[in-house]
Amino acid sequence: MAEQDQKDQIILDQLRQIEEFSAQHPRVFDESRGALRVFTYGTAGFRMHADYLESVVYRVGLLAALRSRNLDGSTIGVMITASHNPPEDNGVKLIDPQGEMLEASWEAFATKFANADSDVDLARAYLDLSESLNINLEKPANVVYARDTRASGPALAAALKDGLTASGAAMTNYEVLTTPQLHYIVKSINTASTPTPYGEPNEMGYYAKLSDAFAAVMADKGPAIVTVDAANGVGGTQLRKLADSIDDKFLQINIVNNASDSPEKLNALCGADFVKTQQTLPAGTEPVPLALHASLDGDADRIVFYYVDQAKRFFLLDGDKIASLAAMFIQELLVQAGLQNKIRVGVVQTAYANGSSTRYIQEVLKVPVTVTPTGVKHLHHAAQQYDVGVYFEANGHGTVLFSAAAARELASFEAQSPGQQSAVTNLARLIDVINQTVGDAMSDLLLVVTILAHKAWGPADWNSAYTDLPNRLVRVVVRDRFGFKTEDAERRLVEPVGVQAQIDDLVNKYKLGRSFVRASGTEDAVRVYAEAETRLEADELALKVADLVKNY
């Protein structure tokens, strides 16, 4: 066969296989709408009831293969999880080569593939995308994947495997992992043959990297003691493995809600989302006063901390508190090293950050704050603008990014005193304690514990830095949430026209009042956030604004 014919044959084979396998993973008919269900790749990929997902996951496999080929065969990750959603849901998201979220321009391609009407249309969309981006379909494609502990996971992973097989991708199934572990593995694979490999590209390498750095930065401190609610998800088993690789003299972890083999219990009355939204203890905990507690979400990329005082009152230490603690500690070390003018720290938050945290970071720590729209990818990119970018959503999703230049500066720094030396050494070790690819509950746990140990602080000392303003979040079902358009990092409504002026009038009536409305990216509703000086006023403001928007 002539070379051109051979090429054509490879492409034709792929298209034929894509159609054949697609017939085994048909789109589900939505009885309630009397039409095929429509999908959108949102802030966290595709996420919905698992019954609808099989065709979507199959098609994500095709897209992952193209994404890899488009990036010269770099390894792409696919994670099957629905995070904090109920057990019957599932979801799927793509991970780019450096462990980052899928590049935004590809989200539309994912949506297009998921909504192709027929098997033939799907193969056509695949060919069209490869032609429009000049993707050579004969080139190798490499994809790795994993899933959380949901009952629907194995069947969806099988559908993904079919998508990868049909498109001729090489694949590795990492079975059950946390989302951040897969991000770590993707980055480690893609940096393996560079001068700065991120880590051993496997699960054991992940534990080794974190535990080595943690042992080094703890040095003569410890043991830290913490009780962790694992949401009955993947985080519990993985955290146990991490804890087993850390000496007891540094850290002792007690895990509760660790029934990952009972997937129907996932996130039920427990986990980071429950604790944050209900502002209360998870089921299955009887805290000792002033002891440190934490909750993970279903895929262990979020964490919140809390404790009770002597009177058994509950105190939440959420993402804003973590960001404040991390920024404070890193800034202190930089000052101690005399590097505060060379390495600039910044914090990235969303509109949901408590106003007290923003004031504390800007006015007390004198650290700049950037506000971005909701969704990790926005915060992550903004954090990359700083030498050290601390980013956290209030819900506990976040991490700290050290720029390559900052890491080099620390590595080559010549200390003039033992104090300077210890500050720089600790900063350099912190880089490896922190998962640089994405927010990671396990790595954030080590970060917080390290800082508390160095400060000799308990959770109440940490909490005393500032007092949260009372706040209230209300979910409002509206006729058309897409009619709500925002500007200024979601803090102001542009549409429906005129509503923002009315919100302003309400807000002005309350001391320290603040409120905003945005369409949810994961549910068919809008969310109203309000804060004010007292609990009563925060509740009242939230309800008034909710009342205002419910008619749109």
Residues belonging to the active site: 83
Q: Which residues bind ligand 16G (CB under 6 A)?
A: 43-44, 374-376, 393, 395, 397, 520-523, 527
- Taking the C-alpha atoms of residue 20 and residue 7, their distance in angstroms, rounded to an integer, is 20
- 395 touches, from Mg ion, ligand 16G, none (C-beta below 5 to 8 Å by class): ligand 16G
310: phi then psi, degrees, rounded to nearest 5: -60, -30
273 and 218 Cβ atoms separated by less than 8 Å: no
By CB neighbour count within 10 A (0-12 exposed, 13-18 middle, 19+ buried), where does 7 fall?
Answer: middle
Type of residue found at 384: Q
Distances in Å between the Cα of 534 and the Cα atoms of 120, 180, 277 are 59, 37, 18
Min dist CB 393 to Mg ion, Å, is 11
CB-nearer residue toward Mg ion: 295 or 426: 295
Q: Write out the binding residues for Mg ion, residues 245-304 only, by CB under 5 A.
A: 297, 299, 301-302
Distance linking the first and last C-alpha atoms of the chain: 64
Nearer to Mg ion, 299 or 537 (CB): 299
Distance in angstroms (rounded) separating the CA atoms of residues 106 and 94: 10
67 binds, among ligand 16G, Mg ion, none (CB under 5 to 8 A by kind): none
Least Å from the CB of residue 525 to ligand 16G: 8
Residue 299 binding target from Mg ion, ligand 16G, none, CB below 5 to 8 Å by type: Mg ion
Taking the C-alpha atoms of residue 62 and residue 148, their distance in angstroms, rounded to an integer, is 21
Q: Which is nearer to ligand 16G, 343 or 526 (CB)?
A: 526
How many other CB atoms are there within 10 angstroms of residue 105's CB atom? Answer: 7
Shortest spacing between CB 277 and ligand 16G, in angstroms: 11
CB of 389 to ligand 16G, least distance (A): 16
Torsion of CA 480, 481, 484, 489, to 10 degrees: -170
Our CB check for ligand 16G shows the closer of 226 and 401 to be 401
> Which amino acid does the sequence have at 44?
A
What φ, ψ does residue 514 adopt, rounded to 5°? -155, 140
CB of 169 to Mg ion, least distance (A): 26
Query: Would you say 44 or 182 has its CB closer to ligand 16G?
Result: 44
When the beta carbons of 218 and 542 are compared against ligand 16G, the nearer one is 542
Q: What is the Cα–Cα distance from 344 to 29, expressed in whole angstroms?
A: 53
Is residue 440 close enough to count as binding Mg ion by CB under 5 A? Answer: no
Taking alpha carbons only, the member of 417, 424, 454 closest to residue 343 is 424
Nearer to ligand 16G, 27 or 93 (CB): 93
Q: Give yes or no for a cis peptide into 289 (omega within 30° of 0).
A: no
CA atoms within a 13 Å half-sphere pointing along the CA-CB vector of 466: 23
Give residue for tokens 């996130």. Answer: 267
Question: How many Cβ atoms sit within 10 Å of the Cβ of residue 475?
Answer: 12
297 binds, among ligand 16G, Mg ion, none (CB under 5 to 8 A by kind): Mg ion
Instruction: Report, in Å, the least distance between residue 416 CB and ligand 16G.
Output: 42
- For Mg ion, which residue has the nearest CB? 83
Residue with smaller CB distance to ligand 16G, 43 or 165: 43
d(CA 305, CA 318): 6
Which of ligand 16G, Mg ion, none sits in contact with 285, Cβ below 5 to 8 A by type? Answer: none
Element (H, E) at 514: strand 514-519
* Nearer to ligand 16G among residue 460 and residue 473 (C-beta): 473
What is the DSSP track for 39-89? ---BBTBEEEEGGG-HHHHHHHHHHHHHHHHHTTT-EEEEEE--TTS-TTE
Residue 272: in which H helix or E strand, if any? helix 272-278
Whether 201 contacts 192, CB under 8 Å? yes
Tokens 């098609």 locate to 59
Is the separation of the CB atoms in 357 and 320 below 8 Å?
Answer: yes
Considering only residues 38 to 97 of the shown chain, the ones binding Mg ion according to CB under 5 A are 83
Task: Provide, rounded to whole angstroms, the least separation between the CB of residue 474 and Mg ion.
Answer: 22
Give the binding site for Mg ion (CB under 5 A): 83, 297, 299, 301-302
